[in-house]
A and B are shown apart, each in its own frame.
Chain A
Amino acid sequence: MANHTVTFPITDPQEILKLRAGDEVTVQGHIIGIRDRTQIRIFDQGIEPPMDIAGAFLLHTAPNVRKLGPGKYEKICIGTTTSARMVRFTEGLGSQYGVRAICGKGGFPDEAIEPMQRLGMVYFAIVGGAAALETTQIEEIEEVAWEELMPECLWKFRVKDFGPLTVGIDAHGNSLYHDVQAAANVKLKEIFARF
């Protein structure tokens, strides 16, 4: 299990192929905050996002912020939400917009494995609930779009040493979540046999 530092947005897709399920990753550069309503707007309502997300790292979030002025927000507490609700957007994010990484908590179900492999994407696991730490790693909220969806807007954050993240699903067809579930189901059979 290797350690990597990756800067986003990435321009070279090979960077994603270096990452293997279980590896530890620290992220630099810019990341994009996105959530349920943001993606419903893009994909179900067919509205183009007003930010370039090619090569991007997307974070499943809805931050606590304080408004400073028009379009300008100060962070209060920024954390990460459960990803599984948003798995159906994976294919479109990769094929239509060139997104390279999706980060959230709790993992994606197995339906994400095939599109992530085909499109060269990864899923990063963050520690859910560790928002106090995450907030210190977000240097600034640089842009916000679709403020009417507050707090489920489209956010652009500048980050420093964002992590540690764990590669939950890699671009080679491996998923820690799949492996852990499979092993747990075998274990359950053993436990039930004891009853």
Chain B
Amino acid sequence: MTSVITDLQGTVEDAAAQLYVSALKDIPQDLRDALAAARLRETSVPGKRVLETIHRNVNIADNEKNLVCQDTGIAVYHCRVGEGFPLHPARIYEGLRTGTARATVEHPLRSNAVHTITRENTGPNIGYRLPIVHWEFISDWDGLDVKCVPKGSGSENMSFLKMCIPADGVNGIKRFVLESIVGAGGKPCPPGIVGVGIGGSADYAMHLAKEAIMRPIGTRNADPLVAELEDELYGLLNETGIGPMGLGGDVTVLQCHIEHADTHMTLNPVAVNYQCWAARRASAHISAAGDIVYDREA
């Protein structure tokens, strides 16, 4: 049993090390397609200049095997753990942690992790409660899905929470999202993905907003009412004219994704988490036997 645990933890470490670096270098196809469509649609001169430069940059990152963006971010993972996966989440976490550190040292990658009071570096992109992991537990399954989403600080700094009241209704949610993105201007490196979390509690709404930015671009919420709101906000956000890098234009966002939870009758929380145009993510499926399959679409 011990050797199984050791091996699987090593497998998770290998996957994390690979995912962190590949997320930073090889952006997903759905994002490439969304950026290409944006480049065709944009009409403002500075906006076109920005989208052309992004296109050149992605090609150079591919050809030179360099990072798309210098901000190696804060390492965030999303794990879907099958109930039959033969490694406890405590050990999965250790694997993700050592994998993140190994990738940082071996590449080498810029280490961004600091103590939040002293601001002193705490290690190779690890520290107390770093990396951050979102957990989901799945019945009747023995696999593990790991998604790595290195989250840049420019966009993470543009996160917003409002405890709307029930009387504000859905219009209150829409107003807050629109005001947040206009207020953010060029700072979060638009055009990106606007993640919105609604319902639940204050903390859970923000958690959901982060889950929303991790989805492949243009996927829709399974609840038709929420999906309709995604479509509407996507359209409205692109009417604001903020444009690429906030220099004015037609394309302010590539998408708007919403995750929701039921809430208290007195609550109407809305959280916004922005993901920059370099919306990096990479995924792997790990079987109970320890086989890793990398997935560029998940």
Give me 13 A-to-B residue pairs in the complex whose CB atoms sit less than 8 angstroms apart, sorted by A's number.
A82-B157, A82-B187, A105-B154, A105-B189, A107-B185, A127-B244, A128-B154, A128-B276, A131-B57, A131-B69, A166-B247, A176-B248, A183-B241
For chain A, the count of residues having a C-beta within 8 Å of the partner chain is 47
Residue of B nearest to A135 (CB): B66
Binding site for A on B (CB under 8 A): 45-46, 49-50, 53-54, 56-58, 60-61, 64, 66-72, 108-110, 152-154, 157, 171, 174-175, 178-179, 182, 185-189, 236, 239-248, 276-278
**Interchain CB contact (< 8 A) of B247 among A131, A135, A176:** A176
CB pair A127–B57 under 8 Å, yes or no, is: yes
Contacts of A130 in B (CB 8 A): 53-54, 56-57, 69
Once bound together, how far apart are the Cα atoms of A128 and B246, in whole Å?
Answer: 11
The proximity string for A residues 80-115 relative to B, scoring 1 for CB distances below 8 Å and 0 otherwise, is 111010000000000000000000011100000000
Q: Are B187 and A77 in contact (CB under 8 A)?
A: no
User: Does the CB pair B182–A129 fall under 8 Å?
Assistant: no
Overall SS of chain A's interface: mixed
In whole angstroms, how far apart are the Cα atoms of A185 and B56 in the complex? 32
Q: Do the beta carbons of B154 and A106 come within 8 Å of each other?
A: yes
Interchain nearest-CB distance for A118 vs B (Å): 24
User: Which residues of B are found within 8 Å of A47, using beta-carbon distances?
Assistant: none
For B57, list chain A residues within 8 Å (CB): 127, 129-134
CB-nearest residue of chain A to B280: A129
Chain A residues in the interface with B (C-beta under 8 A): 1, 22, 24, 61-64, 66, 76-82, 84, 105-107, 125, 127-136, 151, 164, 166, 168, 176-177, 179-181, 183-185, 187-188, 191-192, 195
From residue A115, how far is it (CB to closest CB) to chain B in Å? Answer: 20
CA gap between A181 and B64 in the complex, in Å: 37
Within the complex, what minimum Cβ distance (angstroms) separates B273 from chain A? 16
Q: How far is the CA of A64 from the CA of B71 in the complex (A)?
A: 9
List of B residues within 8 angstroms of A134 by Cβ: 57, 70
Expressed in whole angstroms, the minimum distance between the Cβ of B27 and any Cβ of chain A is 10
CA distance in complex: A184, B246 (Å): 11
A129 touches B68 (CB 8 A): yes
A128 contact set on B, CB distance < 8 A: 69, 154, 186, 189, 245, 276
The interface residues of chain A lying within 8 Å CB-to-CB of B246 are 106-107, 177, 180
Contact status A133-B60, CB under 8 Å:
yes
Instruction: Evaluate whether A177 and B174 lie within 8 angstroms (CB atoms) in the complex, with A127-B50, A183-B241, A191-B236 already known.
Output: no
> Is the CB–CB distance between A131 and B67 below 8 Å?
yes
* Contact status B245-A125, CB under 8 Å: yes
Residues on the A chain within 8 Å of B110, using CB: 62-64, 77, 151
